[in-house]
Structure 1
Amino acid sequence: MRISTAQYYATQAAQYQRNYSKTVATANEASSLQRINTAADDPIGAGRLLKLGQQAAMLDQYNTNINSTKSALNVQESTLDAITTALARAKDLSLAANNGTATDKDRQAYAAELGQIQQQVLGLMNSKDADGNYLFSGSKTDTAPYSQNADGTYTYNGDQTTINLGIGDGMTVGTNTTGWDAFQQTINTGRTSTQMTAPAVDDGRVVLSNGTVGTAATYNSRFSGGQPYTVSFVSSTQLKITDALGNDVTSEASQNGAIVNTTGTNQSVSFRGVDLKLNINLKAGDTNPDAVIAGHSFQLSTTPDSFTTARSPGNPSTAVITGSSITNQAAYTAAFPQGGAVLKFTSATAFDLYAAPVTADSKPVSSGTVAGGNATAAGVTFALGNTPAAGDQFSIQPNNHQTQNVLDTLGQMITAMNTPIDGDPVAKQKFQGVMEAGLGNIDAATNQIGASVTAIGARGQSLDMQNVTNQSLSTANTTTQGSIRDSDPAEVMTRLTLQQTMLQASQLAFSKISQLGLFNKI
């Protein structure tokens, strides 16, 4: 077979070019010690490296999320610990104020310090992080969690949203603690009330406290179904309790309703999970205790819902809601929006009640007209100050008193401490009842905060465990990428030397063979 000179030159040039390209590629590999520098070096390997790189980037993001979440949770835990410390001091002050030897002046001093603690706790509840975001507002990080109402109570302005971040494949963790969980769901131990029904004018001989919930499970299962109860004193040593249907349920009271008639004795009566403080105050000349004590009676029930109202700043009139009360329990239970309502006036006398928030397609749950300066909607009567106008709106938030934030509890205790009771045994006994309910609520608030701290600790453990897992995955990822991408230095250098030698030999052979033409022999 004949091979032309031109064909020979072309073949040798192509072969040389291929060998040269291989040598250059090997030289680059020797320089970087990476087997894959472009996708053309190993398409399959490059694809695997791309996926591994994506996993590595995700693991880095998980690590960033874990670190930021740890930092956020540490700030929240420190803040909650500070609130717990403040509440411990508030409890000490309350116990001192409730001591029988304290005077009005002492209690006022305690109230002043308790007011400072209340403001300290409020400030801590409204704490911000390093970025200026409120810690306990849920997703509403630019809104202060708590604000004070015109009546001195406090309202939670945040939401119940937990902000989650991914910390692993298919695993997320909450980065925040909402004020709803940490503070707003504190069980209110003082959610029952008593009202004297006989005699018509309180003679001070029998003082029965509003009661505190001592056993929540018994209260929830037994108390509500039978209210309102009537507590009647049949003698100075025996009381009788009947439920709403008139059934005698005295057997469920402690000591079957037996009491003592010693003046000033602070005794407890427990009934269906509620602990009541009872004091008998005989007066000079009461030679027959049964005659003066028998006939006293009280109504015992769950504290009725109350309402926080606020007028819209854009109202065209100066009308305000000066008071509110439930006047039809059945209608209230059936129709009033428990998540909040909006009262809107369409004229000076006509109004509609909507469930909040009001949207374009909202329909009223109740409508009516003003009568005697009152607007009654869904079983609730609202007393109006001044005449409303078309376009007036009022926001209404019901409170069923099942829970109570600790700011309101401290406010109630401060008010009680500032009320003079020296020389008035009846007032003192009522004060003690208020303080015992407040102390119970402080304990409940501390427990609620403790539960939030425990939840933070559990999340912290999850973060630590997932961080170890992510570190292991990251190490394995790095090793796998190295096994695919990195070169063996000894093998690369040996291959480079061989390719360079072969290239030099190829050059020398081409030079010798190119001189073997016929013209060189003439």
Structure 2
Amino acid sequence: MRLSTSWMYQQSLSNMLNQQSALATTQNQVSTGSRINVASDDPAGAGQVVNLNHIIAANSQYSDSINSATTSLNTEASTLSSVNSVLDSARTLALQAINGTLSNTDRNSIASQLSQMRDQLVQQANSTDSNGNALFAGTSSATTPFQVGVNGTVSYQGNNGQQRAAVGSGLQIATNDSGAGLFMNIPTGNGSFVASAGAANTGTLVVGANSVTDQAAWTAGAATSGGGYTITFGAGNTWAATDATGNPVLDSSGNPVGGTYQDGGAISFNGMSISMSGTPAAGDTVSVKAGGQQDIFTTLSNMINALQSGGSDTQLTNVMSRQVESIDQTQSTLSAAQVAIGGRLDTLQAQQSSYQDLNVTYQSALSDVQNVDAYTAISNLSLQSTALQASQQVFAQVKSMSLFNYIK
């Protein structure tokens, strides 16, 4: 077989070019620390890198969403705690007005404090998160969901929805609560009914604590009463009850409900018990109404109006007692919301912890596929560099050889 000089040159050149390419690849791996810099380095590995980077990016987005949701919920929880503190102060003032014999100056002073608290509650209800979004507007874009009218009444401009954040595949968490449920649609009385002394009463009767003692009897009675009752007092503290249509309320034996009231005692029928104190005048009444709602701003306004009206101690006590019930209902609603927020924060924390663990796992897998073994790469670089130098030296010697050198 005849070996031409040109063929030997071509083979030597091709071999050196291949060694240079391999050396360049290894140099790139050493400088970047990555085994796969282009897809051709390892097509299968490159596919794995793309998939792992996609998963890591998705988890990072979920983590950012969790951080944002956590901030919003913590802001809401802090705001509701502040609202509760204001309501505690309002409740204390209401009890102070009930328990003491106050002068008009004292009453006006308490009314002034309550007015400031009402303004503070409006401000807190219009709180925003770190992005400037209203906390309690639901899904509405209203920046001030609670608006104060010219007559001092507060209206709600938001809706009943909840904003949600995607924190996982198919998993969404509510990041706020509607102000309608927290501040506006508050059940009156004990949550089932409200018992109120008649505005035209002339005695000293004060309606106290009341409750449902037999849910089945209460439900059955409410279904036939037309939505409420009226208790009317006669001479000698006798009383009788009528339904919303004015018909006498009957007991299980078909006899009219009634009896004689004792100061400090309770009147009970149809599964409810109403504590009272004082002495009613003949013709005084107590109304029982079911299913009412009242916003917390109206509650404070009612307290302010009662203090400024100049009414009797009995009238003030009756009004304040009903408003204290409304404050208690509001605080119960806020407490339930805070418990729900705590549950959501626990879910977010658990989800974030899961993503942190998964990120370590995926980063390790990505490193195994993509990163180069530094020790091996440096060793290969040294060997390839030496081999290339040897090839270059051999080629230099070969290209200078000819037949004349051999004859010589």
TM-score range relative to shorter protein: 0.7 to 0.9
Deviation per residue, 1:422-477 (Å, 9 max, x gap): 4xxxxx43332221111111011111111222222222222221221111111112
What SS does the corresponding residue of 1:280 show, helix, strand or coil? coil
SS of aligned partner of 2:293: coil
Corresponding position: 1:260 with 2:261: yes
Q: Is the counterpart of residue 511 in structure 1 residue 396 in structure 2?
A: yes
Q: What pairs up with 1:296-375 in 2 under 5 angstroms?
A: 296=283, 300=287, 302=289
The residue type paired with residue 446 of structure 1 is Q
Q: CA deviation at 1:85?
A: 0.8
By relative contact order (CA 8 Å, sep 6+), the higher-ranking structure is: 2
Q: 1:421: which partner in 2? A: 311
Task: State the match for 2:346 in structure 1.
Answer: 461
Is 2:369 aligned against 1:484?
yes
Relative distance call for 1:32 and 1:130 in structure 2 (3 A) is: closer
Offset at residue 297 of structure 1 (A): 7.9
Say whether 1:412 aligns with 2:302: yes
Shift of residue 300 of structure 1? 4.3
2:49 is matched with 49
- Measured after TM superposition, the shift of residue 55 of structure 1 is 2.1
Read off the aligned partner of 1:82 and give its amino acid letter: S
**Following the alignment from structure 1 to structure 2, what is the Cα–Cα distance between the partners of residues 514 and 96?**
112
Native 8 Å contact 2:196 2:322 kept in 1: no
TM-score (norm: length of structure 1): 0.67
| Contact 2:203–2:284 (8 Å) recurs in 1 | no
Q: 1:435 aligns with which of 320, 324, 328?
A: 320
Report sequence identity in percent: 28
8 Å Cα contact 2:90/2:114 also seen in 1 = yes
Aligned to 2:26: 26
1:224 counterpart residue number: 222
Q: Aligned AA for 1:415? A: N
Which deviations, in whole Å up to 9, do the C-alpha atoms of 1:192-235 show, x marking residues without a partner? 57797xxxxx78359686x8763398397245312354545576
Alpha-carbon contact 2:165-2:174 (below 8 Å) kept:
yes
Q: Deviations over 1:147-185 (max 9, x none)?
A: 223543321111122222223333332222321232233
**What do the CA deviations read for 1:330-381 (whole angstroms, capped 9, x no partner)?**
xxxxxxxxxxxxxxxxxxxxxxxxxxxxxxxxxxxxxxxxxxxxxxxxxxxx
Work out the CA distance in 2 between the residues paired with 1:220 and 1:56.
58
Does the Cα contact within 8 Å between 1:143 and 1:158 map onto a contact in 2? no
Letter in 2 for 1:500: S
Q: Are residues 1:249 and 2:250 paired?
A: yes
Could you tell me how far apart the structure 2 residues matched to 1:412 and 1:65 are? 43
Give matches, 1:155-166, under 5 Å.
155-166=155-166
Distance 1:494 1:281 in 2: 103
1:298 Cα offset (Å): 5.4
Counterpart residue type for residue 38 of structure 2: T
Contact 2:229 2:288 in 1 (8 A): yes
- Following the alignment from structure 2 to structure 1, what is the Cα–Cα distance between the partners of residues 218 and 356? 49
Report the Cα offset of residue 410 of structure 1: 0.7
Q: Give the 5 Å matches for 1:200-211.
A: 204=202
CA shift for structure 1 position 299: 8.4
> Which amino acid in 2 is paired with 1:447?
S
Alignment of 1:108-187 (within 5 A): 108-187=108-187
Deviations 1:74-118 (A, max 9, x none): 222221111111111111110111125234442222212111111
Deviation at 1:486, TM superposition (A): 1.4
1:465 alignment partner AA: A
- 2:354 maps to a residue whose letter is T
| 1:37 counterpart residue number | 37
Amino acid at match of 1:96: Q
Cα contact 2:127–2:135 (8 A) shared by 1: yes
TM-score (norm 2): 0.84
Task: Give the stretch that moved more between structures: 171-180 or 464-473.
Answer: 171-180
**Contact conserved, 1:137 with 1:179, CA < 8 A, in 2?**
yes
Q: Counterpart in 1 of 2:279?
A: 280
TM-aligned CA distance change 1:158 to 1:57, over 3 Å:
same
Structure 1 partner of 2:239: 239
- Tell me which amino acid in the other structure corresponds to 1:416: A
Moved more, 212-221 or 407-416: 212-221
Distance 1:35 1:217 in 2: 76
Aligned to 2:267: 269
Report the Cα distance in structure 2 between the residues aligned to 1:217 and 1:177, rounded to whole angstroms.
33
Which residue number in structure 2 is paired with residue 450 of structure 1?
335
Partner of 2:69, secondary structure, is helix
Query: Hey, what's the Cα distance between the residues in 1 that align with 2:214 and 2:293?
Result: 15
Provide the C-alpha distance between the structure 1 equivalents of 2:205 and 2:50, rounded to a whole number of angstroms: 79
**Change beyond 3 A, Cα 1:220–1:130:** farther
Q: Which amino acid aligns with 2:391?
A: S
- RMSD (CA atoms): 3.2
Q: Which segments of 5 or more consecutive residues in structure 2 lack a partner in the other structure?
A: none
Report the more deviating stretch, 110-119 or 138-147.
Answer: 138-147
Greater percentage in strand: 1
Q: Hey, what does 1:71 align to over in structure 2?
A: 71
Residue identity opposite 1:406 in structure 2? I
Contact 2:163–2:176 (Cα < 8 Å) also in 1: yes
Per the alignment, in what secondary structure is the counterpart of residue 98 of structure 1?
A: helix
- 2-side partners of 1:205 and 1:274: how far apart? 21
More deviation, 503-512/437-446: 503-512
Q: CA deviation at 1:269?
A: 2.4
Q: Match of 2:211?
A: 214
Aligned residue for 1:236, secondary structure, equals helix
SS of residue matched to 1:214 = strand
Evaluate the alpha carbon distance shift between residue 194 and residue 406 of structure 1 in structure 2; reply closer, same or farther with a 3 A threshold.
closer
